Structure 1
Amino acid sequence: MAYVGGIYDELNDILVENDILPRISQRVRRNPVAPSVRHANSKQRGEAGDAGFDPEMLNMLGQMLSERRRAEDRIPWYARADSTPQLPQIPTSELLGALDEIQRYTLNTVPPDLASLRELQDELMQSLGRELDVGSPERPMKRLGEGDRSMLDVMELLFDFILGDENLPEPMKALLGRLQIPLLKVGLRDRRFFSDARHPARRLLNNLARAGLAWTDDGDRSVTSPYGRIESAVLRILSDFDDDIGIFEQVNEEFEGWLEREQKHARIAEQRLTQAREGQEQLHQARVRVAQEIRRLLDDCAPPECRVPEVVERLLTEGWRDVMLLALLREGEDGEQWRQAVELAGRLVWSVQPKHEPTERQRLLKAIPELLSGLREGLNNISFDPHKAGRLFKALQACHIAALRGNWISEEAGKPVAPPEDARKTTASNERSGDLVQTEPAPQDVMAEEPPSPPPDEFLRMAQALMPGVWLEWTDESGRELRGKLSWRSQLTGNCVFVDRRGMKLAELGCEELAAMLREGRARKLEDLNTPLMDRALNAMLEVLKRTEPVPPTH
């Protein structure tokens, strides 16, 4: 036995239900430092999770709500008989029977929006009073027990928080709001609903809300759509739940199975998208690096002392660049393949320069076979066009013959030309370098000149601080309301790729664009999504309880 106070609570409940000492306080004074109390509280917290109400807290909250309504002159029908305790008390079983009738009525009543749902809820509570025959405000005839009144108050407050949750889309709130009557019945039958995070009704509510958070209204309300799945679960509870709370577990198992499959497929699709975008960015960075290296080789060969024949330039920019790209992607700049590819490109440029000394000619003669072998092997590895390669190697052979004779090859006639007479001008080299850059165009979002950005403000800093996994809700240019998860962010541009609930690309937004949307109120970050809906609502209720002066016990 963890704490003997629980026995007194049960005895008080029995006395109240039998109209014996009905105004007795249902609280037992506890010593908060007693070992048994500490053990009981820690055990309860371990079983219930982070957010939970014990029976004493529920009663305190119910009394607090009752006092607040009296102060605001908003006394509901079930609290009008408080001043006449001699009236007969409505048994909980009779209240549950009346709620059964109300639940059957709601099965065929579908509120189109949240405002209609709130009107329906008010109407249902009035219908409940008529069903129980409690009388008029002037002449009350029956009264509810204190525990039942507290449960009605607390459940109403709970759904006020749920329907006010800013993370849920309005149509989803209208769907989940239809569960208020069934969950009220659950609370009356089993108060573990508030204290046990693993309670089947609570888990179902959390899973329905979890599926609704990622939902975007695309007009699909079919049975197999997310909206249809959530609606089917709600209708199943409304139609089948009588007194067996096990129906919540059955519905939750079916819904959770579907939700896990959906999320698994979404994770796979999102992972593929992320890998593809990362690969594209890595490829672009590698292409830029290869272009920079080839440009360096060409710029280092400056006329009149050095020149690069057209065939060599074509070999580098049309074929060997892909060899270098493949080596860079495979092993990176520290890899042996990249080092060898860059070195061979340098030897190719050196090999076509005029050799005037016998030692230089001898060195070139020894280097040509290995150079040609390396070129052929590299081009074969990238499946370079063999016919095109044959023509380039034939032209390269003429360049090597001219170099051995101490000359350059004439581009027009294919004849050797002495270096001083046919040296290219520096401007030609610059034009050639410019042509090389054009062969490797960078994406528009990287290289295009942009107008100067405005100084950063809180919204730009907010956009820059968004991390993958964050959910945003925004209105696009056509007026559609969208919800997406930030799946990937470019390290080069800062662009953000958002995915929908299926893991498919929904939008790609730049940092400045995101900041503008946040600044204009067209976008907002969805907060605290990792906390289940029921826990968020209970935490909010606990905050209300903490900010309110405790209600003194009545005697």
Structure 2
Amino acid sequence: MAMAEAYEPSKVVNLHQRLEPGHPRGGELLQAVRDMATRRLQQLLGQMFEHVDDALFDLAEKAENNAAQMHYFDGMREVRRRRLAIERSYLSQVTRMLGPMPVAPRATTAPSASGELSLVADDELEESLAVTSMASKNEARLAQELHALNQRLGVICGGIKLDESNSPLAPAALAEAFRQAMGELEADVRVKLLIYKLFDRYVMAGLDALYPEINAELMRAGVLPQFRQGARHAAPEHAAAGAASAVAAGGQDAGAAEDVLETLSQLFNARRGRAPTAPPPAAAAPAPSVHELLGALSVLQSQLADHASPVPASTGAQQSAADAAALKSLLMSQLGALRGARPSAMAGMDEDTIDLVGMLFEFILADDTLPPTMQALLARLQIPYLKAALLDRRLFAQRQHPARRLLDMLAELAKGWSPEADRDHRVFDRVKSVVERLLHDFDDDLGLFERLCGELAAFQETLRRRAELAEQRVAEATHGRERLELARRRAAREILDRIGGRALPPLVHGVLARAWANYLVLTLLRQGEDSLEFSEALRFVDEFIASTLPVRDAESRQTLRQLMPRIERSLRRGLASVAFQESDIERLLAQLTGYYRERLGEAPAQAASSMEGPLPIPDSIQPIVEQEAPALQAEREAATAPPPEIPQLEQVYALKPGTWLEFCPTGAPAERAKLSWISPMSGRYLFVNRRGLKVADYAPHELAAALAAGSARVLPAEPLFDRALDAIVDRLSQPPGTPAA
């Protein structure tokens, strides 16, 4: 229904209060609003998608590596494939929201009004930040028009109360609906975040025209024509919750820094029970400035760098919490020494920054992803990082902040460290060097973090190249052993299946089980199972076994005579390829000829006794059938037995190369290893240490059993800083007095 019909003179009614629910007039007006909104949003969405390819292509050109570039190109293909599904899903949700009883979509990860935060996966938190940020920004920008629109929608929907939190056309509702529609898209989070930015730029910006348009049409239809628009600000709880999502996600925007710290300040205030804006007593000494704090910290840093740390050596998270309190007390004392009088308190934001950095290093000392030796080393960085946070509050709001990247790089390097894998102390010395550089050299030049990042990245690349070569050799050697093992198993299976339950003469059985089994293995490795050579080698096995069948009539004698020359040719060619000497081949063939002539009645029976003589087989020939028979029997039993029910199998199958695990076998020191390679032949998982040397290899069910028993565990792949922020926000969101987890 067109809006023009809604305000025909015969239908104009001065609607100052409300229409009763179910009134046909309200349904007509709501349908008109629905048509206008979906039509305009569809246009805006189309404009947005027209710019996605160009934006992704630009990012791909600027990508830092090939893997990142492929993420963007894959994203371009996925967006083209799923565009219509996203548009349909989005417009369908908008239509549903503007139904007979308008409702806004429920945000799946938004924090509650009580301030509790729902911590979910990092990618979801990134999306939550994007949605919350664009909603908050546009609600403030469009407050007047949105307030008027909510009042008019409330009138035509039976007098329900609509505001920013439940209005179906509010930026939060429209952004959340788009987020749910983006569930149709399977793409890297970086691609999704770009699309959210474009949605903000094209669709949310288009609300400037949509709101006034709907308001004007409803006014012409007689809905609150005299209503005066008045700006309304978003509820403080809503704004705080949105910024808290940014904290949990470790926000990306530089402009979010103050919002992040402000929200953390609110959380700290709630825990401490202090008034956020309470002024200090008139007689109190003024709070120290940031410049004074940095001066006092530099003195303490100098003491720590000289190994005369005023703070006790930390031994764990609880000790670290005590150390943080001791550091704050020492800092106040040092401030008193510098200014001549100890200040009674710090500025709230500065105190919160100090506590936040303290909690960050508490997490480091509680995080068993890091080996204890590395935990103690990184814990010495608390004062330099506190100075960095005071100098630049964006540290907690930007993932690409140099200080944050440096700590993540150090933690990633430390994660795979062990004394066994670092016998030359190369990694330990490098981490220690970075720590010492910061302790001795960092004053107020934040560029030092960027320079150290560059140096550490070059060091990591050198390690990676060296380890990559070692890993390749280990994988190739493992692959070769597996090919040999599978070929031996296949050869033994082919021979045993063909022998069945027959009792062959010792000479024939010996040739098949040892010499010919080795020839089958060699043929499989060189030519492959689909080759003509392998087929002919198997045909020889059939013919050789057939040559031992009873000879009862002229037809069977004729069959044996036809087999004999073919058997001789095959044996000469096959045995020569597995290191038989010509004289040994002739001796074997002479024994076989005597055996066949006796069976044909062409030689005395005693000639058959030569079949019992020793077989001239070189030492290099392995008894493959005898060796592989137990393994084949085990395979058959395993094939008939139900597979073990180990819940961790699903976790094992989800592991990707590059994942780090810690193995803690009983009675042996723990060892950290990276999943390097998954065999395409056997499915076994190969693990190497930081140097690329083999640590272990497991079949999937063996690894699942180790995970279930606790003798192995998967180490987190998320960056240290992200995990620390999640833990800090989770802790601060708990009611005051709740002990730390």
TM-score by length of 1: 0.71
Answering whether residue 454 of structure 2 is matched by residue 347 of structure 1, we say no
Structure 1 residue 512: Cα displacement: 8.6
Structure 1 residue 343: Cα displacement: 0.4
Distance of aligned partners of 1:345 and 1:481 in 2 relative to their CA distance in 1, 3 Å threshold = closer
Distance of aligned partners of 1:438 and 1:364 in 2 relative to their CA distance in 1, 3 Å threshold = closer
Counterpart residue type for residue 262 of structure 2: N
Q: Give the Cα separation in 2 of the matches to 1:513 and 1:289.
A: 23
Matched position secondary structure for 1:32: helix
Answering whether residue 702 of structure 2 is matched by residue 500 of structure 1, we say no
Q: Give the Cα separation in 1 of the matches to 2:553 and 2:712.
A: 73
Equivalent in the alignment of 2:304: 106
Written as runs of structure 1 = structure 2, the 5 A alignment for 1:116-515 is 120-133=323-336, 141=343, 143-218=345-420, 224-299=425-500, 301=502, 308-330=504-526, 332-351=528-547, 365=561, 367-405=563-601, 410=606, 413-414=609-610, 437-440=625-628, 442=630, 460-462=646-648, 465-467=651-653, 468=655, 469=657, 470-478=659-667, 480-486=669-675, 498-507=687-696
Answering whether residue 736 of structure 2 is matched by residue 534 of structure 1, we say no
Counterpart residue type for residue 260 of structure 2: M
Q: Give the Cα separation in 2 of the matches to 1:540 and 1:485.
A: 25
Give per-residue Cα distances to partners, 1:303-324, cap 9 Å, x unaligned: xxxxx44332232222111121
Number of aligned residue pairs: give it.
482
Q: Give the Cα separation in 2 of the matches to 1:169 and 1:152.
A: 25
Distance of aligned partners of 1:369 and 1:262 in 2 relative to their CA distance in 1, 3 Å threshold = same
Counterpart residue type for residue 575 of structure 2: L
Q: Kindly indicate whether the alpha-carbon contact (under 8 Å) linking 2:360 and 2:725 is maintained by their aligned counterparts in 1.
A: yes
Q: Give the Cα separation in 2 of the matches to 1:349 and 1:214.
A: 56
Structure 1 residue 106: Cα displacement: 1.0
Q: Give the Cα separation in 2 of the matches to 1:286 and 1:234.
A: 53
Structure 1 residue 91: Cα displacement: 2.5
Q: Give the Cα separation in 2 of the matches to 1:198 and 1:49.
A: 16
Q: Give the Cα separation in 2 of the matches to 1:165 and 1:281.
A: 38
Give per-residue Cα distances to partners, 1:202-243, cap 9 Å, x unaligned: 111001101111223559787x33222211111111111112
Counterpart residue type for residue 728 of structure 2: M
Partner of residue 139 from structure 2, selected from 32, 35, 50: 32
Q: Give the Cα separation in 1 of the matches to 2:496 and 2:643.
A: 35
Distance of aligned partners of 1:197 and 1:113 in 2 relative to their CA distance in 1, 3 Å threshold = same
Distance of aligned partners of 1:526 and 1:105 in 2 relative to their CA distance in 1, 3 Å threshold = farther
Q: Kindly indicate whether the alpha-carbon contact (under 8 Å) linking 2:353 and 2:386 is maintained by their aligned counterparts in 1.
A: yes
Distance of aligned partners of 1:334 and 1:168 in 2 relative to their CA distance in 1, 3 Å threshold = same
Q: Give the Cα separation in 2 of the matches to 1:84 and 1:512.
A: 70
Q: Which moved more, 1:29-38 or 1:92-101?
A: 29-38
Distance of aligned partners of 1:513 and 1:445 in 2 relative to their CA distance in 1, 3 Å threshold = farther
Runs of 5+ consecutive residues of structure 1 not aligned to the other structure: 1-28, 74-78, 303-307, 417-434, 550-555
Q: Give the Cα separation in 1 of the matches to 2:544 and 2:400.
A: 71
Q: Kindly indicate whether the alpha-carbon contact (under 8 Å) linking 1:92 and 1:148 is maintained by their aligned counterparts in 2.
A: yes
Q: Give the Cα separation in 2 of the matches to 1:483 and 1:154.
A: 30
RMSD: 4.7
Q: Give the Cα separation in 1 of the matches to 2:266 and 2:247.
A: 23
Matched position secondary structure for 1:506: strand
Q: Percent identity, aligned pairs only?
A: 31
Equivalent in the alignment of 1:51: 250
Runs of 5+ consecutive residues of structure 2 not aligned to the other structure: 1-135, 144-170, 176-192, 202-245, 613-622, 737-741
Q: Give the Cα separation in 2 of the matches to 1:330 and 1:195.
A: 59
Distance of aligned partners of 1:35 and 1:387 in 2 relative to their CA distance in 1, 3 Å threshold = farther
**Structure of higher RCO (CA pairs closer than 8 Å, 6+ residues apart):** 1
Q: Kindly indicate whether the alpha-carbon contact (under 8 Å) linking 1:353 and 1:408 is maintained by their aligned counterparts in 2.
A: no
Q: Kindly indicate whether the alpha-carbon contact (under 8 Å) linking 1:474 and 1:482 is maintained by their aligned counterparts in 2.
A: yes
Equivalent in the alignment of 1:96: 294
Written as runs of structure 1 = structure 2, the 5 A alignment for 1:534-553 is 534-544=721-731
Matched position secondary structure for 1:483: strand
Structure 1 residue 481: Cα displacement: 3.2
Counterpart residue type for residue 295 of structure 1: L
Equivalent in the alignment of 2:183: none
Counterpart residue type for residue 252 of structure 1: C
Q: Give the Cα separation in 2 of the matches to 1:31 and 1:456.
A: 55
Structure 1 residue 177: Cα displacement: 1.4
Distance of aligned partners of 1:191 and 1:465 in 2 relative to their CA distance in 1, 3 Å threshold = closer
Matched position secondary structure for 1:90: coil
Matched position secondary structure for 2:671: strand
Counterpart residue type for residue 466 of structure 1: V
Q: Kindly indicate whether the alpha-carbon contact (under 8 Å) linking 1:273 and 1:504 is maintained by their aligned counterparts in 2.
A: yes
Structure 1 residue 271: Cα displacement: 4.2
Matched position secondary structure for 2:521: helix
Q: Which moved more, 1:236-245 or 1:393-402?
A: 393-402
Matched position secondary structure for 2:647: helix
Q: Kindly indicate whether the alpha-carbon contact (under 8 Å) linking 1:354 and 1:408 is maintained by their aligned counterparts in 2.
A: no
Q: Kindly indicate whether the alpha-carbon contact (under 8 Å) linking 1:356 and 1:405 is maintained by their aligned counterparts in 2.
A: no
Q: Give the Cα separation in 2 of the matches to 1:510 and 1:490.
A: 10
Q: Kindly indicate whether the alpha-carbon contact (under 8 Å) linking 2:673 and 2:690 is maintained by their aligned counterparts in 1.
A: yes
TM-score by length of 2: 0.55
Matched position secondary structure for 2:695: strand
Counterpart residue type for residue 407 of structure 2: L
Matched position secondary structure for 2:414: helix
Structure 1 residue 158: Cα displacement: 2.4
Structure 1 residue 180: Cα displacement: 1.4
Structure 1 residue 341: Cα displacement: 0.7
